[in-house]
Amino acid sequence: MRGLKRVKRWLVLGHRWLGIGTGLFFAVWLLSGLVLLYVPFPSLTEAERLAGLRPLALDRLGVEPARALAAAGLSARPRSLDLEMRGDEPVYRIVTAEGRPLAVSAVSGEVLPPVAAGAALALVRAGPEARLRSLARDQWTVAGRYDALRPFHVVELGDAAGTELYVSSVTGAVVLDTRARERFWNWLGAVPHWLYPTPLRARPDLWRDVVLWVSGIGIAGAASGLVLGIWRLRPRRRYPSGAATPYQGIGRLHHLFGIVGGLGILTFVVSGWLSMNPNRWFSGPAPDPQMRAAYAGAAPLPGLAGIREADRPDTVALRFLGLGGGSHLLALDASGGSRVSPPVEEAAIRAAAPGLMQGASLARVERLAAYDAYWYAHHDTKPLPVLRLVFDDAAATWFHVDAGTGELLDRLDRSGRVHRWLFAGLHRLDFPLLIGHRPAWDLAQGLLNGLGLVVALTGVVLGWRRLRRPRGGSRPSGVRSQAA
């Protein structure tokens, strides 16, 4: 009994002071998470990017893709190779296997220099009311994926939506658009939820450590509260007052709501902590350069005649795809429509698949004509149909491939599938019964977050009372002698 009392005392003290330290964090996380569900962090979607491109002027094309790669100092097919317009000039947009972006003129074959600030206005066809500023990094370009594209020329269009376009000085392409509404709401959503202030997020290792430590302390606070709450609940052998809880007032609300709401808080904070991939337990979804190269094979690039054959009046981009040693052209229009020439056959994808996993065999190929628990479009756009390539390696790796274009979309091994449930399931409530079912998903999110907010806010009130209590003074009102 003495040992149990000692454990309970340490639980009480630990939860009390952890709660005082993290109560406001929990309240902010829950409120900002609700905002983030409906106003995502600013990004340039593929549909927005294509809608902003000009039709390809292939009559000006004077350089074939192989020569453009040679000018860029590349002897092998890069990670990606696209043909688009940069102003009035067709250019090859190249991303090397290392992730370095380049732009090569499809007219002269020269690697294009950085874009001057004044040229950015013409590239986006801005009106006379537009304003221009240049920067290396701000709140909306703080993520590491923008590092190779810095610095930026930001064009403020002066429209009613407060649109701002970010033009990379490296490539001359628009890489981000933001609007006043989403900028405002993200200060209340993603920025506090992800601990995303620019000075911190600009230091990736420090930011990662801060998020892991803060959420780790939050886990200890939530777990101790849940254990203590269950321990002190007496639904049968009640306290002398006749209640199942020893607390009164705000304390009673905190205790009773904490039994259910505390479980929701704990799952949210644990899954958020896991999203940072502590100890690198989970593999990422991106296939590595070697996989991409082996899947593409030594595909010859088309010449000028082959490119012109794919031309249509509405084409805004041509993507050069390699598949098992064969070459395909993907033509995209401004509305997102696409055509592949020559058409991609499933047999070609099956033939190219073994190169993805050296030392492993392709166990089976599944064709998905509808979304399932691992390939779904609840938060973003994903194509259908896709082929799921299942390998027999130790990690039981899957790849998803666009059945229409042959493009390699992602990799998902056993650890990635576990992460899908621990993060997307517990944090986003992406469960099969809720995915794609609105407003059931919204109601579930609102209920769990609402219960958690009651727990967090009542905890903040109790913590404030504790801090205001004079040393040696009486207990806070509403708390019996048995209360924490």
Which of the listed residues 280, 308, 331 is the one where a domain comes to its end?
A: 280
The number of angstroms, rounded, from the C-alpha of 440 to the middle of its chain's C-alpha atoms is 23
> Which value, in Å, is the radius of gyration of the alpha carbons in the chain?
28
Report the number of distinct structural domains present in the chain.
3
pLDDT in tens, 399-444: 999 999 999 999 999 999 999 999 999 999 999 999 888 899 999 9
Q: Is residue 138 part of a domain?
A: yes
Instruction: Give yes or no: residues 80 and 174 share one domain.
Output: yes
Give whole-number Cα distances, 350 to 212, 385, 408, in Å: 41, 15, 12
For residue 377, tell me if it sits in a domain. Answer: yes
Same domain, 36 and 50: no
Whether 85 and 68 have beta carbons less than 8 Å apart is answered as: no
231 — pLDDT class (breaks 50, 70, 90): confident
Where residue 134 falls among pLDDT bands split at 50, 70, 90?
A: very high
State the chain's mean pLDDT as an integer: 92
Do 121 and 204 lie in a common domain? Answer: no
Packing angle between helix 2-38 and helix 249-275, nearest 10 degrees? 70
Q: What is the pLDDT of residues 329-366, one digit of tens each?
A: 999 999 989 999 999 999 999 999 999 998 899 999 99
Domain match, 65 and 145 both: yes
Regarding whether 219 and 331 lie in a shared domain, the answer is: no
In a domain, 444, yes or no: no
**Cβ(278)–Cβ(398) below 8 Å:** no
Q: Which of 241, 262, 280 is the last residue of a domain?
A: 280
What angle separates helix 440-468 from helix 249-275, to the nearest 10 degrees?
120
> Do 272 and 205 have their domain in common?
yes
Give CA–CA dist 172/364, Å, rounded: 43
Residues 68 and 148 in one domain: yes
Q: Which residue has the tokens 């020559």?
A: 342
Among 227, 246, 254, 222, smallest CA distance to 454 is for 254
Same domain, 87 and 141: yes
CA distances from 128 to 125, 131, 158, 281 (A): 10, 8, 9, 52
Q: How far is CA 302 from the centre of its chain?
A: 35
Task: Tell me how many helices (H) and strands (E) the chain has.
Answer: 14, 14
In a domain, 92, yes or no: yes
Task: Identify the pLDDT of residue 473.
Answer: 53
The answer to whether residues 320 and 361 belong to one domain is yes
- Residue at 433 is within a domain: no
Tell me which residue range forms the domain holding 253: 2-40+194-280
* pLDDT value of position 484: 37
User: Which residue has tokens 């769990």?
Assistant: 448
Provide CB contacts within 8 A for 215, sequence distance 6+: 269, 272, 273, 276
Same domain, 141 and 213: no
Residue 115 falls within a domain, yes or no?
A: yes
Final residue of a domain: which of 280, 315, 342? 280
Q: What is the DSSP letter of 334?
A: T
- 260 domain residue, yes or no: yes
Query: Do 276 and 296 fall within a single domain?
Result: no
Q: Of 394, 386, 409, give the one whose Cα is nearest residue 287.
A: 409
